[in-house]
Amino acid sequence: MQNIWLMLADPNMQWIFLGCTLLGLSSGVIGCFSYLRKQSLMGDTLAHAALPGICIAFMLTGIKSIGLFLIGAGAAGLIATFGIGYITRNSKLKQDAAMGIVLSGFFGFGIVLLTLIQHGSYGNQAGLDKFLFGQAASMIASDVITMTSVCVLLITVCTLLFKQFKLISFDPGFARGIGYPVAFLEQLLMLLIVVAVVAGIQAVGVVLVAALLITPAVSARYWTDRLGLMVVLSGVFGAASGAVGTWISASVSNLPTGPVTVLAATLLFFISILFGPQRGLVAKQLMRNRVKQRFNRESESLAKNSLKKEAAL
Amino acid sequence: MSQTKMTAKHNAKMAAPLAIHGLSVAYQKKPVLRNISFEVTEGELVGVIGPNGAGKSTLMKATLGLIPSISGEVLVYGKAYKQQRKLIGYVPQRESVDWDFPTNALDVVLMGRYGHLSWFRRPGAKDKEFALECLNKVGMADYANRQISQLSGGQQQRVFLARALAQDAKLYFMDEPFAGVDAATEKAIITLLQELKLQGKTVIVVHHDLATVQDYFDSVLLLNVELQAYGPTAETFTQEQLQRTYGGRLAFLDRSIQPLSISEGKGE
């Protein structure tokens, strides 16, 4: 494995490294809200739904560019969310089942299109298959610039609308009551998730990009009881995972970035669930032991006291 | 509901805190509320009573515009409720939110200030001070920094009440604030209701416990899809009206109605 500093000496690598770190950061931030709104799987659905959108965008234009893919994936994501909404409203199916159906349907369609593209005569289709698991090394400067602007956009919106996003995540009914345009804010949040997902697809891949939304957020929840800090931590965890993923995948030949990034995020999750203060499993066990000891000590001294009293009598 | 021209004129000048005309709500095909009309007098504590599925919460949510109504008009101090949002405070049912949310009691109360803040403004020192005051009013000042999942059910309810106080409204809606709370909280809520009344505020409360209706409310609104009766508690909360509202479902009615005959004399 290549030394990280050696790798970073390569200016091209610096760009990619920066892009992936920023991607992890923004996904982590926006993921907090989707996790707290109990829509963790929405990111996964949107990511899988993005694949046919990207394929169609490529088939229509023959150009590989994140900007165009964003439009295709955004449109597909929109159709997918409408589909989920339509199914849950008009049938007895719950949202998880509706998501499962839509997710796999879109993904299947995407794979079919991807195969068609592979065997087609586009000339520059090479690398499109990398979208399944991601290949950070295949990024070019313009991609990194797009990712950077996406990151700036996401973080700016989340900072400006922090109190709105907090309120619609905690108590949407109350938010509506004080006149917040809840439907608009929900759509905006969804749009930001689509943007994060699409920006992340090239680096992390369709299959695993959702992990960057869920895992850092869940891990961050173990370290704090304050939303502001949780969002920051989640961003840091996401950034760290992205950085590690890029580094390892760039140094080991042909290793896709997505799985490594996700493994890094998962490792952080295990550390969090074990060692998080208060909520972590270790902290909980220690607390339980302490309570047990105190209880035993107290009941012991109570028993002694009553013995003494009996003796005195 | 006979209105002379005199009172109509008076209403135009000093519009009622809440006036609802012909409000109907339907889920799917079934009507949940049919043609509800009533007007609330300023400074009153109004209890909304009715059996399960009578549409009590629905009435409250439709009034606040949280769910769509198929017909009807809601006026708050003479204007459409949308223009009067800052005059309205709302206490939703406690179960409507996830209390494991990463935030503390003070922060939840601060949410009551959001309606008064401009779009990109964060709550400031003054808002925090006011929120603390509101927590103090419900006896929760010591719990300001407590993570909300570590509060008891009653304490969570009081945090919600404090949040509504922080809205600094004139007309309050409370959806079953007494549901499943401990005695301390029940007492805190009643004290608070009385204080709000003293300040000339109007409070509309969805209520479940028939035994306490006469002690708590100036007026009652009996609801079962349609408006069954509305008026001063002493005149409206009668066995006959309750029987009509609850149908055959109120076997314990005879016992719960017992104190009615005693308290009938103390009406205004």
CATH number at residue A32: 1.10.3470.10
Q: Any bridge partners for residue B89, and if so which? A: B172
d(CA B184, CA B188): 6
d(CA B153, CA B164): 17
3-state secondary structure chain A: CCCHHHHHCCHHHHHHHHHHHHHHHHHHHHHHHHHHCCCHHHHHHHHHHHHHHHHHHHHHHCCCCHHHHHHHHHHHHHHHHHHHHHHHHHCCCCHHHHHHHHHHHHHHHHHHHHHHHHHCCCCCCCCHHHHCCCCHHHCCHHHHHHHHHHHHHHHHHHHHCHHHHHHHHHCHHHHHHCCCCHHHHHHHHHHHHHHHHHHHHHHHCCCCHHHHHHHHHHHHHCCCCCHHHHHHHHHHHHHHHHHHHHHHHHHCCCCCHHHHHHHHHHHHHHHHHHHCCCCCHHHHHHHHHHHHHHHHHHHHHHHHHHHHHHHHC
CB proximity A123 to B under 8 Å:
no
Model pLDDT, residue B235: 83
Least confident of A256-260, B120-124, B150-154, B191-195: A256-260
The answer to whether residue B188 scores a pLDDT higher than 90 is no
Question: Residue B75: in which H helix or E strand, if any?
Answer: strand B71-76
Residue A109 inside a domain? The answer is yes
CB proximity A231 to B under 8 Å:
no
Domain count, chain A: 1
List chain A residues with CB under 8 Å of B117.
163
Domain count, chain B: 1
For chain B, positions 189-248, list CB contacts with chain A under 8 A. none
d(CA A175, CA A173): 5
Q: What is the mean pLDDT of residues B209-236?
A: 86
d(CA A213, CA A17): 19
Model pLDDT, residue A125: 67
Model pLDDT, residue A117: 86
Q: How far is B233 from chain A, CA to nearest CA, in Å?
A: 28
Model pLDDT, residue B249: 59
The answer to whether residue B256 scores a pLDDT higher than 60 is no
Model pLDDT, residue B263: 37
| pLDDT, tens digit (0-9, with 9 covering 90-100), for B85-140 | 888 989 998 888 999 999 999 999 999 999 899 889 899 999 999 999 999 988 89
Model pLDDT, residue B7: 47
The answer to whether residue B266 scores a pLDDT higher than 50 is no
List chain B residues with CB under 8 Å of A31.
none
Model pLDDT, residue A162: 94
| pLDDT, tens digit (0-9, with 9 covering 90-100), for B32-58 | 888 888 998 888 999 998 888 888 888
d(CA A110, CA A115): 9
Q: Is B3 helix (H, G, I), strand (E, B) or coil?
A: coil
List chain B residues with CB under 8 Å of A36.
101-102
CB A265 within 8 A of CB A238: yes
List chain B residues with CB under 8 Å of A38.
98
Residue A2 inside a domain? The answer is no
Rg (CA), chain A: 24
Domain encompassing residue B157? 5-266
Q: Is residue B260 very low, low, confident or very high in pLDDT (cuts 50, 70, 90)?
A: very low
A:B CB pairs within 8 Å: 68
Identify the residue whose tokens are 């500093």: A5
d(CA A224, CA A217): 11
DSSP classification of residue B91 = E
d(CA A218, CA A200): 19
Residue A73 inside a domain? The answer is yes
Nearest to A178 among B108, B115, B122 (CB): B115
Domain encompassing residue A178? 8-279
DSSP classification of residue B142 = G
Residue A241 inside a domain? The answer is yes
CB B104 within 8 A of CB B144: yes
> The sheet that has B18-27: what strands, in order across it?
B30-40, B18-27, B71-76, B79-80
Q: State ipTM.
A: 0.83
d(CA A53, CA B1): 61
User: What averages of pLDDT result for each successive group of 10 residues across chain A (313 residues)?
Assistant: 68 82 92 90 88 90 80 88 85 87 93 87 71 78 84 93 94 90 89 85 83 93 94 95 86 80 93 91 90 88 80 72
Model pLDDT, residue A3: 67
Model pLDDT, residue A232: 96
Q: What is the mean pLDDT of residues B250-260?
A: 49
Burial of A258 (0-12, 13-18, 19+ CB in 10 A): buried
Burial of A291 (0-12, 13-18, 19+ CB in 10 A): exposed
How high does pLDDT run on average in chain B?
A: 83
| pLDDT, tens digit (0-9, with 9 covering 90-100), for B223-236 | 888 888 888 888 88
Q: Is residue B12 very low, low, confident or very high in pLDDT (cuts 50, 70, 90)?
A: very low
Model pLDDT, residue B146: 92
The answer to whether residue B16 scores a pLDDT higher than 90 is no
Residue A107 inside a domain? The answer is yes
Q: What is the mean pLDDT of residues B198-226?
A: 88
CB A14 within 8 A of CB A8: yes
Cβ within 8 Å, pair A170-B111: yes
Cβ within 8 Å, pair A177-B66: yes
List chain B residues with CB under 8 Å of A230.
102
Q: How far is A8 from chain B, CA to nearest CA, in Å?
A: 37
Q: What's B238's domain CATH number?
A: 3.40.50.300
Q: Name the nearest CA neighbour of B45 among B212, B147, B197, B232.
A: B197
CB A257 within 8 A of CB A203: yes
Model pLDDT, residue B4: 45
CB proximity B167 to A under 8 Å:
yes
The whole model's pTM is what?
Answer: 0.85
The answer to whether residue B254 scores a pLDDT higher than 80 is no
